[in-house]
Amino acid sequence: RVRNAALHAVGNIVTGDDFQTQVVLNFGALASLKKLLSDSHEKIRKEACWTISNISAGNGRQIQAVVDADVVPGLVRILRVEERLDIKREAAWAISNITYKGTRDHILFLVEQGALELLCDLLTSQSDPRVLQVALNGIHEMLKAGALEAQDQRRNGFERGALNRCVQIIEDCGGLESIENLQRHESEKIYDAAFGILLAHWITDDEE
């Protein structure tokens, strides 16, 4: 009970500004949070993910701290094996926040850890619009990072035919079909997000 209260208090602090979050990080909170991601108590795992999602909504230095603390593999593991959707949702938020505020290197690191395929899995495992929106946002940011990477490779002459690796990953894991299906979702926001991804990365001028 004391541990639950302490974790919730830390989580509330990091919902504040970047200065408050940095104070928490300076006390080594990420090392403890990393361990709590594999705790046997569901509530602890959920609170740990929620706290990390708030930290990953901070500045670039704080996102780098999350990466350096080796927290990402724990978040990815939760997306892969966690049975409770509400805990998966918090892990997805943490991943998505990194894609939104992180650098291209941060985002591609998530891709290399397998986060892209697991976000695609969320598009088929449930119908909660909040989870769908978070997953779609993260997928879109990863696709944009992959497109910039391929563009740089072509420009620098390393690979003239370099393609967006994130496009290939999504196609290989069945994510493209899931995104296409979401164009029929009852939520206009979900439809817009899915169509925006397809328009930016798959739909050609002839298909519009």
Quick one: 5 and 49 in the same domain?
yes
Q: Give the residue from 71, 102, 133 where a domain finishes.
A: 102
The reported pLDDT for the residue numbered 126 is: 63
Query: Which pLDDT value is given to residue 160?
Result: 60
* Count of structural domains, the chain: 2
**How far is residue 52's CA from residue 47's CA, in Å, rounded to a whole number?**
9
CATH number for the domain that contains residue 81? 1.25.10.10
Which of 55, 75, 102 is the last residue before a domain boundary? 102
Nearest to 79 by CA among 70, 91, 66: 91
Q: Which range of residues forms the domain containing residue 27?
A: 1-102
Q: Which pLDDT band, with edges at 50, 70 and 90, does 58 fall under?
A: very high
Say which range, 89-103, 133-147, 150-164, has the weakest mean pLDDT.
150-164
Q: Are residues 76 and 143 in the same domain?
A: no
CA distances from 122 to 108, 138, 143, 195, 208 (A): 19, 11, 17, 17, 27
Domain final position from 53, 74, 102: 102
Averaged pLDDT of the chain: 92
Q: In this predicted structure, what is the pLDDT of residue 107?
A: 98
Same domain, 197 and 131: yes
pLDDT on residue 159: 61
Residue 64 has pLDDT above 60, yes or no: yes
> Are 93 and 111 part of one and the same domain?
no
pLDDT confidence bin for 153, thresholds 50/70/90: confident
Residues 93 and 116 in one domain: no
Query: Per residue in 83-110, pLDDT tens?
Result: 999 999 999 999 999 999 999 999 999 9
- pLDDT average, residue stretch 196-205: 86
Domain match, 98 and 23 both: yes
- pLDDT tens digits for 4-55? 888 989 989 999 999 999 999 999 999 999 999 999 999 999 999 999 999 9
Instruction: Give yes or no: residues 14 and 81 share one domain.
Output: yes
The average pLDDT across 110-127 equals 90
**pLDDT digits 0-9 by tens, 160-182:** 667 899 999 999 999 999 999 99
Residues 36 and 91 in one domain: yes
